[in-house]
Structure 1
Amino acid sequence: MDKFLAFGIVGLSTAAIYAVIGSGLVVTYTTTGVFNFAHGAAGMMSAFVYWQLTIGWGVPVPVAVVLVLAVFAPLFGLLFARALAPTQGLGDAEKLVMTVALLSGLIIVARWIWNPNVSRTLPKFFAGVRPIHLGPVTITWHQALTMLVAVAVAAGLRILLYRTRTGAEMRATVDDRALVGLTGADPQRANKVAWILGIELASVGGILIAPTVALDASQLSLLIVSAYTAAIFGRLSNLPMTFLGAIVVGCLESYLAGYLPQNEYLPGLRLAAPALLLFLALLLFPHGRLRGRDRKLSSVPLPTVNGSLVFGAIIVVVGIMLATMLGEANLITYGQMFAFAVIALSYIPLAGFAGQISLCQLSIAGIGAVAYSHFGAHGQWWAIFAAMAVAGVVGALIAVPAMRLSGVYLALATTAFAVVLDRWIFTLPEFHLFGLKIALFDQGSVELVGPHLFGLNLDSTWKITIFSSVCLALATFGVAMLRRSRFGRRLIALRDSESAYATLGGNLLSAKVAVFAVSAAIAGLGGALYGMQLRSVTADQFNLVAGLPIFLIVVIGGLGAVGSGFFAGVTFAGPLNVIPVLWPSLTNLAQVLPSAGGAFFAGGALGEGAVAGMRGSFVPVLRDKVTGPLLIGGPIVLWVLRLNDVINGWLFTLGALIVAVVARYWAQARAPKPDVEPEIPVEWWGVRRDWRAEDEEVLDRAVTARS
């Protein structure tokens, strides 16, 4: 009994921290309509700033606490308010992209400022004071402080939100900003107050939990998973239920640590327990309409058959060029672009066509890599299809329980699935299930070899690079044809309205299972290709945080554009690797670029995406009789010069860029200038020019404005 009480106290103290962090998440969501995936990253940054002040610079603890909570946290909250203000009128996907961009960016910035290879710890509050003894239970003053803070936060939030005018303004703003403004309130001020308060609570939780864990950017940021669970218990709106959820999570972690049997299979279960509980809470609890949900949807481009074939041929040519120009070391680095492109392509049918937001695609790619390593240990060609099948089955299994989830809830469910894989499944040693021996990463790495295909042994990096480019070309063409098919049109209808799709006779379960399976199979192929390129991979290369930049780059390219897969692969393995080589001091800055680009996209700066803009710029160039041959022949001539060592790789790259720029501007100069129609007074419409259908609406607006 004494042991049970002791672990209960530990669980309650941890629950108090989760309650504080989770309540901040609920406050920002309830008042702004934005579910902040970067909430934990904000607390992580505050914890690091607190460490810098106290340990790094020797500032007294009381002064450091005041500086963090009274200066840094409010300013950080205003930064969040300003960064997320452009998403107020946007849909769920854009809001999600912005907060995911902030999460990924803040983790990278923290690693940039504070070297992750240096160990950092923080002392607990009142560590030198004798603990409190209540019978058989011992309570440290740090534990007592956390529980007192949680109680104070609960009481303060209740009073603020339901007993003050400011709280009423904060809750009303998300539903109708214009209507709130008519009452004399200031919606922008209410939002700023909400963000300051939310980040303040995240900072309090970060400072309180930091002494009990290692100061690691990713670990501290992903502790938010436990707070997510608490918030889902409260259905993102009910603070008392959020605190109850925090108690459940905190005590579950503590009792698992105390009573879980000691063997090699279960330690990861304790770490994954909050994510498992989050997944179950999402499935079991009813969810109301997402606050501030907007149904603005972007169009999905319809690729042509000929255009898709040409694009596939370009991908293969790029693969051949890289394989013949780069040495072994560079080819391992830059040849990864095709594998990353395949993984990125898996987002297109799932998120771009069907509107199902998933953050676990890289984790599923890890399953594909593991499956191929075991099925294709001796280069069996069929192992590629077996890996895709295994990944596809996993994707289908995710789809079935996630059937009733969408938007942010689905993103949370796939995040929980990725965390469970990271913390538990991928760490398991070899085990047997129903008589089958199952080995994942076996607490280490897995080796992969190229397949034997059509009598060829793909045993070298250049052969695997070309093979990967062919796989990407085929997968891209397949996704393009999926978009043109009846099933593709049904997926877009599913994205537009699930209820309407079901009302018209569509089967939601089969559609979601199918698209999840197809997307997962593509991701599994990408994971297998990635493993072949590197020859050996570990579980850390497929974790949740590593997959966020890929998702963000796909978003920058355009979720509905089939070419976004290749765009993401080239960007992720190209510039992000080239910049550190040319300018080593900009290594960390290069890693922040996907987050910055994702934030700009969510704010509307990139419109329909970078791929749509590039297509609009270069398709006319290819169709022009003069600039088309220049754009195609220029790189080929430079390639021949590179193969004969007349120029080096850098000159080839620079020359290809120059050819592309010159061809584009030349095509623009050659294009016929559109005839400018002279302005005709309104009274002569229908006389000096033909009457148009939109003229009546224009006249009605003009008459209404004058009256």
Structure 2
Amino acid sequence: MDQFITFGIVGLTTAAIYAVIGSGLVLTYTTTGVFNFAHGAAGMFAAFTYWQISIGWGVPVWLTLVIILGVLAPGFALLVELAMRPVQRLGEAEKMVMTIALLSALIAVARWIWDPNDAKSIPRFFADVSPIHIGSATITWHQAVTMAVAIAVAIGLRLLMFNTRIGTEMRATVDDRGLVGLTGANPVRANRVAWILGTELAAIGGILIASMVALDAMQLSLLIISAYAAAIFGRLKSLPMTFVGAIVVGCMEAYLAGYLPQNAYLPGLRLAAPAILLLGALLLFPHGKLRGRDRRLTRVPLPTVRGTVIFGVLIVVFAVVLTTVLGEGDLISFGLIFPMSIIALSFVPLAGFAGQISLCQLTMAGIGAAACAYFGGNGQWWALIATVAVAAIAGALVAVPALRLSGVYLALGTAAFAVIMDRWIFTLPEFNVFGADISIFDQGSIELVGPNLFGFHFDTTARITILSAVFLALATLLVALVRRSRFGRRLIAQRDSEAAYATLGGNLLMAKVAVFALGAGIAGLGGALYGMQLQSVTADQFNFVAGLPLFLIAVIAGLGSVGAGFFTGFMLAGPFVAVVMIWPDSADLVQVIPGLLGIAFAGGILSTGAIPEMRKEWDPVFADRIGVSAFLSWFVLLWALRLADVIDGWMFFFGIVAGMVALRVWVAVRPKSTDDPSDIDSQNSDTDGLNGSIVETDIPVEWWGLKRPWRAEDEEVLDHAVATRG
């Protein structure tokens, strides 16, 4: 009984912290309509700052708390509120991207400032004071302070929300921001107060819990999963129920730690328990209508088969060039462009066509890598087919419970699934299913080998690089054909309105299962090729946090374009890697860039997507036959010099960049002929990034067929325009 009480006290202590953090999350969401995925990262950053000021610089604890809670946390909150203001009136997706980008950036910045290899710890409050004894129970002063803070937060929030004018404004803002403004209240002020209070509560929770766990940026940031579960108990609007949910989560963690049987299969279950509870709460509890649902839907470009085939050929040619100009060591790094592109391509049908935000695609890639290692240990060619099938089945299983989830809830559900896989399933030792011994990551690393196809063994880095490029080209063509198919049009119709799609006879379950399976299958293929490229991979390479930059760069590229996959892989395994090779000390800085770009995208700086913007700039350049011919000649000359070892790989690379700059300058200064057809096309049209689909810009939709010829694909565009404008 004494042990039961002891674990109960520990559970209530952690529950108090989850309640503090979760109440800040709910407060921010109910007032601003923004679900802050970076809420836990804000608490993590506060904990590291507390360590730096108090332990690192020797400032007294009371003064450290004043600096953090009185200056730094409110200042950070005001900066976040200012950054969120441009997306406040936009849709749910933009807000989600902003906070996910902030989560990724804060983790990267924390690792940059504080070396994760240096162990750090924060002492508990009043650690040198004798504990309190109540019967057989012993309560430390840190535990007592934690519970007192939670009680004070509960009472303070109740008084604020129901007994003050600002609290009334905050509650009114939930219902109608415009109407609140007409009554003389200030919604902007209410938002600022909500952000400040939410960040303060995250900072308090982060500091309190940092003394109980390791001071690790990713671990502290993901403790928010427990607070997410508590918030879902409160349905993102009820603070009392959020506290109840926190008690459930905290006590469950404590009693699992104390009473879970000791064997090799269950330790991960205790770590994954909050994520399991979050997923269960999402599936079992009814959810209200999400605030700020995005009805400003953008058109999904229609790729041409010819343009996509040409694009695929260029991908393979690019891979051939890489294998001939790079050495073995560099090719291992830069060859990852192609498998990472395939993984990123999985976002296009799932999020770009169907509007289903999934944060577990890198987890699907991990499943694919493990399946390929299991089936293809001796280079069996059919292992890749089995890999795609296993990953697709996993995607379909995720889709079935996700049928009733959308928007933030779907993102939370897929994030919870990723964390469950990271903390438990991927850590399992070998187990037996129906007589078959199955090992996922074998509690360490797994080795993957290239396949044998028609007697040809892909046993070198160069061959695997070309194989990955071929599969990327085929996968890109497949996604383009899906977009042009009846199934693709149904996915877009479902994205536009699930209710209307179901009313007209569409099967939501089958559509979601199919698109999740398709996306997971593509990601699984990419994961298998990723493992082959590196020859050996670990589960950590496929964790939830590692997948955030992949998602962010894909969003920045433009999820509607089939070129988004290659753009993402090229950026993450191309320029980012090259910068680190040239300047090794920039590794931490490069990790921050995806988060900063995501913030810029959500804030409207890159709101149209990078690929459409690039095409606007480069279409006139590619249309210049003289300039392109000269550039190709220059490229062939540089390639020949590299093959002859006259120049090295870096000179080849910088020569290509110089040639592209010269081509751009040539097109800019060359006089244009008014009867040049390519010039007229460039004035009246734009192309979908990297897939050749033409999108009219200067001619309104209503004039198509009158001011320019009618095309077969125009009917779908016109139907979409009528639906969205109506």
Please give the range of the TM-score, normalised by the shorter of the 2 chains.
over 0.9
Distance 1:285 1:693 in 2: 46
Distance 1:486 1:183 in 2: 49
Mapping of residues 377-526 of structure 1, within 5 Å:
377-526=377-526
Q: What's the counterpart of residue 277 of structure 2?
A: 277
TM-score of the superposition, structure 2-length normalised?
A: 0.92
Q: What's the counterpart of residue 23 of structure 2?
A: 23
3-state DSSP of counterpart to 1:463: helix
Query: Which whole-Å deviations, capped at 9, do the CAs of 1:480-504 have from their partners, x for residues lacking one?
Result: 1111111111111111111111011
Q: What's the counterpart of residue 55 of structure 1?
A: 55
Query: Which whole-Å deviations, capped at 9, do the CAs of 1:454-487 have from their partners, x for residues lacking one?
Result: 2211100011011111111111111111111111
Distance 1:64 1:390 in 2: 52
Report the AA paired with residue 581 of structure 1: M
3-state DSSP of counterpart to 2:107: helix
Report the AA paired with residue 312 of structure 1: G
Q: CA deviation at 1:453?
A: 1.0
Q: What's the counterpart of residue 629 of structure 2?
A: 629
Report the AA paired with residue 213 of structure 1: V
**Structure 2: runs of 5+ lacking an equivalent:** 681-700, 704-726
Distance 1:364 1:638 in 2: 40
Q: CA deviation at 1:580?
A: 1.6
Q: What's the counterpart of residue 310 of structure 1?
A: 310
Q: Return closer, same or farther for 1:266/1:156 CA change in 2, 3 Å cut-off.
A: same
Contact 1:630 1:659 in 2 (8 A): no
Q: What's the counterpart of residue 81 of structure 1?
A: 81
Q: Does 1:548 align with 2:548?
A: yes
Q: CA deviation at 1:672?
A: 4.3
Query: Which whole-Å deviations, capped at 9, do the CAs of 1:9-31 have from their partners, x for residues lacking one?
Result: 11001000000000000010010
Q: CA deviation at 1:667?
A: 3.5
Q: What's the counterpart of residue 129 of structure 2?
A: 129
Q: What's the counterpart of residue 682 of structure 1?
A: none
Contact 2:73 2:200 in 1 (8 A): yes
Q: Using the TM superposition, name which of 297-306 and 617-626 deviates more.
A: 617-626
Report the AA paired with residue 91 of structure 2: G
Distance 1:212 1:636 in 2: 61
Q: What's the counterpart of residue 290 of structure 2?
A: 290
Distance 1:454 1:433 in 2: 32
3-state DSSP of counterpart to 2:138: strand
Q: How many pairs align?
A: 678
Q: What's the counterpart of residue 95 of structure 2?
A: 95
Distance 1:670 1:616 in 2: 19
3-state DSSP of counterpart to 2:403: helix
Report the AA paired with residue 517 of structure 1: A
Q: What's the counterpart of residue 107 of structure 1?
A: 107
- Cα RMSD (Å) of the superposition? 1.5
Query: Which whole-Å deviations, capped at 9, do the CAs of 1:320-373 have from their partners, x for residues lacking one?
Result: 001111111100011001011000000000000000000111011000000000
Q: Return closer, same or farther for 1:266/1:605 CA change in 2, 3 Å cut-off.
A: same
Distance 1:453 1:616 in 2: 41
Distance 1:295 1:168 in 2: 29
Q: Return closer, same or farther for 1:62/1:510 CA change in 2, 3 Å cut-off.
A: same
Report the AA paired with residue 465 of structure 1: T
3-state DSSP of counterpart to 1:138: strand
Contact 1:175 1:292 in 2 (8 A): no
Distance 1:471 1:279 in 2: 34
Distance 1:155 1:263 in 2: 43
Mapping of residues 184-195 of structure 1, within 5 Å:
184-195=184-195
Q: CA deviation at 1:254?
A: 0.4
Q: Using the TM superposition, name which of 611-620 and 367-376 deviates more.
A: 611-620
Q: CA deviation at 1:693?
A: 8.9
Contact 2:93 2:294 in 1 (8 A): no
Distance 1:55 1:693 in 2: 67
Q: What's the counterpart of residue 600 of structure 2?
A: 600
Contact 1:622 1:631 in 2 (8 A): no
Distance 2:615 2:472 in 1: 19
Distance 2:171 2:632 in 1: 58
Q: Return closer, same or farther for 1:8/1:406 CA change in 2, 3 Å cut-off.
A: same
Distance 1:574 1:175 in 2: 46
Q: What's the counterpart of residue 684 of structure 1?
A: none
Distance 2:429 2:396 in 1: 25
Distance 1:540 1:659 in 2: 40
Q: CA deviation at 1:90?
A: 1.3
Contact 1:300 1:352 in 2 (8 A): yes
Query: Which whole-Å deviations, capped at 9, do the CAs of 1:508-538 have from their partners, x for residues lacking one?
Result: 0000000000000000000000000000000
Q: What's the counterpart of residue 168 of structure 2?
A: 168
Distance 1:562 1:602 in 2: 21
Q: CA deviation at 1:169?
A: 1.4
Q: Using the TM superposition, name which of 648-657 and 188-197 deviates more.
A: 648-657
Query: Which whole-Å deviations, capped at 9, do the CAs of 1:74-123 have from their partners, x for residues lacking one?
Result: 11111111121111011111111100100000000001111000000111
Q: What's the counterpart of residue 64 of structure 1?
A: 64
Mapping of residues 556-705 of structure 1, within 5 Å:
556-668=556-668, 669-672=670-673
Report the AA paired with residue 498 of structure 2: E
Report the AA paired with residue 361 of structure 1: Q
Distance 2:667 2:508 in 1: 47
Q: Using the TM superposition, name which of 603-612 and 232-241 deviates more.
A: 603-612
Report the AA paired with residue 597 of structure 2: G
Distance 1:455 1:661 in 2: 44
Report the AA paired with residue 41 of structure 2: A
Distance 1:212 1:536 in 2: 34
Q: CA deviation at 1:620?
A: 3.6
Q: CA deviation at 1:632?
A: 4.0
Contact 1:22 1:227 in 2 (8 A): yes
Q: CA deviation at 1:430?
A: 0.3
Q: Using the TM superposition, name which of 431-440 and 320-329 deviates more.
A: 431-440
Distance 1:285 1:672 in 2: 65
3-state DSSP of counterpart to 2:293: coil
Report the AA paired with residue 318 of structure 2: V
Q: CA deviation at 1:670?
A: 4.9
Q: What's the counterpart of residue 703 of structure 1?
A: none
Contact 1:44 1:203 in 2 (8 A): yes
Report the AA paired with residue 433 of structure 2: L
Q: Does 1:240 align with 2:240?
A: yes
3-state DSSP of counterpart to 1:212: coil
3-state DSSP of counterpart to 1:467: helix
Contact 1:353 1:488 in 2 (8 A): yes
Query: Which whole-Å deviations, capped at 9, do the CAs of 1:61-85 have from their partners, x for residues lacking one?
Result: 1111111111111111111111211
Distance 2:594 2:672 in 1: 34
Distance 2:672 2:498 in 1: 44
Distance 1:45 1:313 in 2: 46
Contact 1:89 1:294 in 2 (8 A): no
Distance 2:347 2:631 in 1: 30
Report the AA paired with residue 192 of structure 1: R
Q: CA deviation at 1:435?
A: 2.7
TM-score of the superposition, structure 1-length normalised?
A: 0.94
**Structure 1: runs of 5+ lacking an equivalent:** 676-691, 695-707
The alignment-based identity, stated in percent, is: 66
Distance 1:481 1:637 in 2: 36
Q: Return closer, same or farther for 1:474/1:194 CA change in 2, 3 Å cut-off.
A: same
Distance 1:637 1:412 in 2: 52
Distance 2:628 2:329 in 1: 34
Q: What's the counterpart of residue 700 of structure 1?
A: none
Distance 1:368 1:468 in 2: 14
3-state DSSP of counterpart to 2:35: coil
Contact 1:364 1:520 in 2 (8 A): yes
Q: What's the counterpart of residue 533 of structure 1?
A: 533
Q: What's the counterpart of residue 722 of structure 2?
A: none
Q: Return closer, same or farther for 1:252/1:670 CA change in 2, 3 Å cut-off.
A: farther
Q: Does 1:358 align with 2:358?
A: yes
Query: Which whole-Å deviations, capped at 9, do the CAs of 1:522-574 have from their partners, x for residues lacking one?
Result: 00000000000000000000000111001111011011111010000010001
